[in-house]
Amino acid sequence: AQKVTQAQTEISVVEKEDVTLDCVYETRDTTYYLFWYKQPPSGELVFLIRRNSFDEQNEISGRYSWNFQKSTSSFNFTITASQVVDSAVYFCALGGSDSGAGSYQLTFGKGTKLSVIP
């Protein structure tokens, strides 16, 4: 069975501070995918990144960066110079197929609510 743990339930930072959201996962699959989604108050799930298990390179996209460490089963997300618009719930998710059926269902963490205070 797959599991995603986001230990931080809520985080508050002051605007312009950097913040890191933690994600730890468990899987027996050798091939899997890791995702981050943003859920603003309006409720939609906004795709941020997908990373496959063979690609451990860190990624940067503007103020966002991701640190994938297979050795510790972690896929952490850092927002640099946070802004009020970053306030949302952020979900980490793990994609894999328990049955090997070819599709891969996502297992989500419980999410981290980020509040950026002006």
Partner 1 sequence: EPEVTQTPSHQVTQMGQEVILRCVPISNHLYFYWYRQILGQKVEFLVSFYNNEISEKSEIFDDQFSVERPDGSNFTLKIRSTKLEDSAMYFCAGSGEQFFGPGTRLTVL
Contacting residue, 41, 71, 85, 101, with partner 1 by CB under 8 A: 101
DSSP 77-105: EEESS--GGG-EEEEEEEEE-SS--S--E
String of contacts with partner 1 for each residue 44-73, x by CB under 8 A: xx-x--x-----------------------
Of residues 43 and 62, the one with the C-beta less far from partner 1: 43
| Whole-angstrom distance, CA of residue 116 vs CA of residue 106 | 28
Residues 78-97 that bind partner 1 (CB under 8 A): 91, 93, 95, 97
Contacting residue, 31, 84, 98, 115, with partner 1 by CB under 8 A: 98
CB of 63 to partner 1, least distance (A): 20
| Whole-angstrom distance, CA of residue 117 vs CA of residue 63 | 17
String of contacts with partner 1 for each residue 23-42, x by CB under 8 A: ------------x-x-----
- For β-strands 105-108 and 33-39, DSSP reports them as unpaired
* SS3 track for 5-22: ECCCCEEEEECCCCEEEC
| Whole-angstrom distance, CA of residue 114 vs CA of residue 89 | 6
Question: Given the rule CB under 8 A, which residues bind partner 1?
Answer: 35, 37, 43-45, 47, 50, 91, 93, 95, 97-99, 101-103, 105-111
